[in-house]
Structure 1
Amino acid sequence: MTLRSVCVYCASSLGADPRFAEAARTVGTTLARRGIRLVYGGGRVGLMGMVADAALAAGGEVVGVIPAFLQAREVHHTGVTELLVVESMHARKAAMADRADAFIALPGGFGTFEEFFEVITWTQLDLQRKPVGLLNVAGFYDGLLAFIDHARAARLVREEHRAIVSSADRIDELLAALEGWAPNPTPKWRGELS
């Protein structure tokens, strides 16, 4: 799969570990140098702002999508290639997904987690056929990956649905995994309804 556009989910704060900011800059720069458009939440603050600034500084195209209520609080990035102002968080997520070939979650909080799990669910339900990845910076997502595997062992997540989620601690490795991903359109309820 050729990636032309990647949606990046991440924190609107910097977090406690300076490796998070370093990773955000590396992701933005890497996407731009590969000619991959960055789609993100449109903010100028935290890791969101850093990934956008790095992509722009490296000559990349950056599309920000922000709800009007956040734009009104003056947290939007004014230097992006394109800024889409939408009415709600739901519209934001849909617009970001429409413009992306794949999704990457950097370290973040509840918003990042929610966005990440929603796109996994959309792929699981065959509403889209797009890969999803975690950039596991400094082991940030070790616990989450272990929990996902726990759900798989408990037979609440199917093996083929676990395969939707790629992870790596380096952006080059993660992009390679996303590019090599192929959808497995296994019905969510295969054999359970009849």
Structure 2
Amino acid sequence: MFASRTLSFRRWFTAAALLGAVVMALPASANDYPLPAANSRLIGKNLFHQVANDGGSLEAIAKKYNVGFLALLQANPGVDPYVPRAGSVLTIPRQMLLPDVPREGIVINLAELRLYYFPAGKNSVTVYPIGIGQLGGDTLTPTNGDKNFRQASEPNLDADGQYSCALPGAGRKTSGSRPCRAG
């Protein structure tokens, strides 16, 4: 009887720990920012949050302000991520530097784990958090529920042909009917 109770507790504890890890790893949604002047790269403003008596975890606060958990943790060193001290003031990291690239289309900054989208004809940028995960196996990588509305069986990834020489492939032709060069 004692062994079955221990096994049941272990299963419950493992399930709770896994659920907590998945919830903490869920990505934040996108944030829209107006573009700064052409000679500036700084967007957004840091916000401040005073922890209430009931506190709430850093994960809940990150979700409320639409920022990543790790970014919030790094902006507030020494704060207990599970039970922040009531009355303490947390920095909400909403200020960032745009990559030093032309402000058009999609830009991925792997070091920051961010995707920047500069919509054509608009004076704004949308910033999405990205992550690196694993497919298959015994690991569970959470997804954010995005949908693929249109999928081509052989997409034309080289529409204007400018990458066929710079990115050698395996000798297959792209859908733009330009041959890829084998390395």
TM-score interval w.r.t. the shorter chain? under 0.3
TM-score normalised according to structure 2 size: 0.24
More helix by share: 1
Tell me the TM-score normalised to structure 1 length. Answer: 0.23
Structure number with greater Rg is: 2
